[in-house]
Amino acid sequence: MRIVTSTNRRAVASLLSATRIRDRATEVRAAVIVDRVRKGGDPTLLKFAREFDGLRGGIEVPRRVWEAQARTLAPNVRRALKRAAANIQTVAKAQVPKGWRKAVGAGISVEQRVIPISRVGCYVPAGRYPLPSSLLMTAIPARAAGVPEVIVACPRPDAAVFAAALEAGVDRLFQVGGAHAIAAMAYGTRTVPRVDKIVGPGNRWVSAAKSLVSTDCGIDFYAGPTEILIVTASGSAAAIAADLIAQAEHDPDARAVFITSNRRLAGQVTREVAAQMPDTGPALQSLERHGGIIICRNMTEAIALANEAASEHLVVGTEALAKRVWNAGAVFVGRWTAQVAGDYAIGSNHVLPTAGAARYRGGLNAADFVKLVSVQRMTKQGLKRIAGTVTTLARAEGLEGHARSIEARFSDPGSRTPDPVGKRQ
């Protein structure tokens, strides 16, 4: 791994840049696929699934197949899925926003209603291997939020994915992937129902398609290649190197960076990475292209760089550093809080913002699956109390009709009739 100093601004910017890795050619082709599925429905979807996913059979997998396949899974894997699901559900239930009703003033109240989204589509990647953990991370928070119908699209589901679907309470599962799966869920086909929101990670085709459909269907966020920053001045060099390699093995475009003020530790981590690195594969490519170590003058500078980078995963060595983090998708504190544990079983979500998006949002959570709808109520006296405020502001904005909408209520003879809202308050 290359080592740079914090004074080398160009090198630091290269390692920490939040620039999205976008492929215009992919975006153009994804747009064609999305449009064709939108117009062509099932026949077009099936054509793309056979061409790109190697599909043999129908688009939807019947529940009896899930159950039969899940029974073939090793018992220890079933137990691991169950334990992970329980932890994810515990956290998700705590994340659901609460409804409330507040008296703003005499005769004036505002209520917040928490209404689940009606139907959610979860995308489960299956690049080198299907990822049942992504199914748990997307479907369980949706269920915890009260979503009535949860569907899944996965290009090559295996026994673990089917078992996870049963564990998470999924309603339907479709063995399609890529841009064509996103289009099917966003616009609906005869087989695949149209959803109100699509969540879950995926490759550049999936990300491009999600971006394209986002004007017609809700999405969680645009997800680029995965990222990890490790910020500490102490700890096990072997463990730090292992964490960098673990995240790098996701994708050749993954970003894995260690930031420290400890030159000796930096050298130890470099040697450990070389010793642990596989000879081939995405981890090797990732660390050669996008990996590195930044040596800072002190840890204040180190955490400032981390906040500027707004990484998807941020591992910090101490609680003192953790308290100074304000930009990160997820924070892991101390040597025993392994980031990969968060990928599976801690209970926090592993669907996280990348490419600097942690500046303005956190990871996927149960609140992403509900709508906060405000309900307002006023009595006649309540409206009288704020009428002057409303009409003054309306006229200040040049909206005379707005002001008259208030005044008409008091000039209308019907305003003398009983106030049904007032009776309820």
The catalytic residue positions are 312-313
Residues whose CB falls within 8 Å of the CB of residue 30, separated by 6 or more in sequence, listed in order: 179, 205, 208, 209, 212
Phi then psi dihedrals of residue 92, to 5 deg = -60, -40
Would you list the DSSP string of 195-235?
-SEEE----HHHHHHHHHHTTTSEES----S-EEEEE-SSS
Q: Cα dist. 46→39, 61, 246 in Å?
A: 13, 13, 35
Hey, what are 115's tokens? 């209404």
Contact 2, 287 (CB under 8 A): no
Q: For the chain, how are helix, strand and coil distributed in percent, rounded to 5?
A: 50, 15, 35
| 22 backbone dihedrals φ, ψ, rounded to 5° | -115, 145
Pairing between β-strand 108-116 and β-strand 370-378 as defined by DSSP bridges: antiparallel
Whole-angstrom CA distances from 398 to 344, 390, 407, 409 are: 56, 12, 16, 20
Give the bridge partners for 375, in sequence order.
Answer: 111
State how far the alpha carbon of 180 is from the alpha carbons of 36, 67, 128, 198, in Å: 9, 26, 19, 13
